[in-house]
A and B are shown apart, each in its own frame.
Chain A
Amino acid sequence: MAAEFAPFEINPSSGIPIYRQIVDQVFALVASGALRTGDLLPSVRQVARDAAVNPMTVSKAYSKLEADGVVRRVRGQGMEVLPPSQNGSLDERKQQFGATIEPALHRARQLGLTRAQIREVIASLLQDRPS
């Protein structure tokens, strides 16, 4: 079944390459549950036409998503969303998270927090969240 969600929000004049905008949005749509396992992404032609961008750029995004194990190519149908568990190894996901908190740790040091105090903050943040 084709996914029913608004087409991607593409800003060609952003500093972020168009293909990366599409990749990031598919990741987000999968994470939020708007795209479920078995859903089909809109066709390359449709996305290119809606956003008035080069179809090759959209193809590039879809190939990247395929290589990342987020979707798979189904002959004659399009790109199908795979179960989320296949989205990158644990190491890769840890690395991604590490890159996100690196600047925060730097700020913590500027604020004069000790390692123990930083751990306390993270622990209390985690405590406030369900699961």
Chain B
Amino acid sequence: MNTPVISWQNLQKSFGAKEVLRGIHLDLESGTVLGLLGANGSGKTTLIKCALGLLRPTAGSVSVFGENSWDLSASAKARLGYVSQEVTSYPWMRVRQVIAYTAAFYPKWNQVFVDELSRRWHLPLEDRVGTLSTGQLQTVGIVLALGHEPELLVLDEPVASLDPSARRQFLRTLLEMLDGRERTVLFSTHITSDLERVAGRVAILADGKLRFHGELDELKDRVKRLRITSRHDLPASFAVPGALRCEVAGANATVSVADFNEKLVHDMRQTWDAEVSVHDLNLEEIFVEMHDGSVC
């Protein structure tokens, strides 16, 4: 088996007494697009920064391309691209100059590609960086991270400040890059509809732990909402194994389950003498069910 591109081994990270990550085990395999989801403050950025050697783990370890993240070689860094939540740059430089300055750090830099992206995204090359809007600055950050066509792309809410059309442009560019050769992407975002387009796998963080890690398709197949209509009032003992959320009102119940299968529905029909309908949930709905569930 190949070495994972990123490997988090029992990663723990605290800031003072505050435990942000409480033992994360996760492997990101080559060629995978992993979507990282979690509520605000769930530790997504910390997870990413530990992987990039920008934060030191409290316990456990992280490796990138098989090297310890805290001690990454220049050649490993040349193979990765990172777009941070808040792009920091040099306000006095012109956009063109920042691009040239960044390019000088990389042994391989595809200027033709960068010119194409700058045109596509209408980057004002002659403007000073300090005068750019948040969205324009984020676009500059994306172009700088893609310029050396990295094998590993780490995106921490890269599109939060982009308008819908610029976001779609970005997704299309990302998809084009994935089409050519094997690339690995770690993509943290709150925009679940973007992940549904690009991510093959999803990791959901909650309370400093991994709530789910697996294929997006599998997640959609497993998490379902069931509507139960019985001929009689449902008893107080009404319960569903593996329920994420459950609401009962008289003869009706709405239950979201984490591990749907046909047998479950069959059993429910028999046990509660009820009609059961199954409803598919999209990623946003699944995320909400996992976070706000009240189990009966």
Within the complex, which residue of A18, A52, A57, A110 is in contact with B172, where a contact is CB–CB below 8 Å? A52
CB of B175 within 8 A of CB of A52, answer: yes
Residues of A within 8 A of B285 (CB): 15
CB of A48 within 8 A of CB of B179, answer: yes
Interface residues as binary, A45-89 with B (CB distance below 8 Å gives 1, 0 otherwise): 100110011111100100000000000000000000000000000
Within 8 A of A (CB), among B105-149: none
Cα of A56 to Cα of B284 in the assembled complex, Å: 22
Residues of B within 8 A of A119 (CB): none
B280 within 8 A of A: yes
Q: Chain A interface: which of B46-54, B73-81, B151-159, B213-221?
A: B213-221
Q: What distance in Å separates the Cβ of A11 from its nearest Cβ neighbour in chain B?
A: 9
B269 within 8 A of A: yes
Within the complex, which residue of A15, A16, A54, A102 is in contact with B197, where a contact is CB–CB below 8 Å? A54
Cα of A124 to Cα of B285 in the assembled complex, Å: 41
Within the complex, which residue of A45, A57, A103, A107 is in contact with B179, where a contact is CB–CB below 8 Å? A45
CB of B269 within 8 A of CB of A13, answer: no
Q: 4 more A-B contacts (CB under 8 A) besides A12-B196, A48-B175, A56-B33?
A: A13-B196, A15-B279, A17-B221, A54-B200
Q: What distance in Å separates the Cβ of B248 from its nearest Cβ neighbour in chain A?
A: 19
Cα of A45 to Cα of B277 in the assembled complex, Å: 36
CB of B200 within 8 A of CB of A15, answer: no
Within the complex, which residue of B192, B197, B220, B224 is in contact with A17, where a contact is CB–CB below 8 Å? B220
Residues of B within 8 A of A102 (CB): 266
CB of B217 within 8 A of CB of A14, answer: no
Interface size on B, residues (CB 8 A): 33
CB of B198 within 8 A of CB of A14, answer: no
Closest 8 CB pairs of A and B: A15-B280, A17-B217, A12-B196, A15-B281, A13-B193, A12-B197, A15-B282, A13-B282
19 residue pairs bridging A and B, Cβ less than 8 Å apart: A13-B193, A13-B196, A13-B284, A14-B280, A14-B282, A17-B216, A17-B217, A17-B220, A18-B217, A20-B217, A48-B175, A48-B179, A49-B175, A52-B168, A52-B171, A53-B197, A56-B33, A57-B200, A103-B277
B210 within 8 A of A: no
CB of A106 within 8 A of CB of B179, answer: no
Residues of A within 8 A of B175 (CB): 48-49, 52-55
Within the complex, which residue of A13, A19, A54 is in contact with B33, where a contact is CB–CB below 8 Å? A54
B29 within 8 A of A: no
Name which of A15, A56, A102 has the most chain B CB atoms within 10 A of its CB.
A15
Residues of B within 8 A of A18 (CB): 196, 217
Q: What distance in Å separates the Cβ of A17 from its nearest Cβ neighbour in chain B?
A: 4
CB of B282 within 8 A of CB of A110, answer: no
CB of A13 within 8 A of CB of B262, answer: no
Q: What distance in Å separates the Cβ of A44 from its nearest Cβ neighbour in chain B?
A: 9
Q: What distance in Å separates the Cβ of A94 from its nearest Cβ neighbour in chain B?
A: 16
Interface residues as binary, A27-42 with B (CB distance below 8 Å gives 1, 0 otherwise): 0000000000000000
Q: What distance in Å separates the Cβ of A55 from its nearest Cβ neighbour in chain B?
A: 5
Residues of B within 8 A of A17 (CB): 216-217, 220-221
Q: Which chain B residue lies CB-closest to A54?
A: B198
A99 within 8 A of B: yes
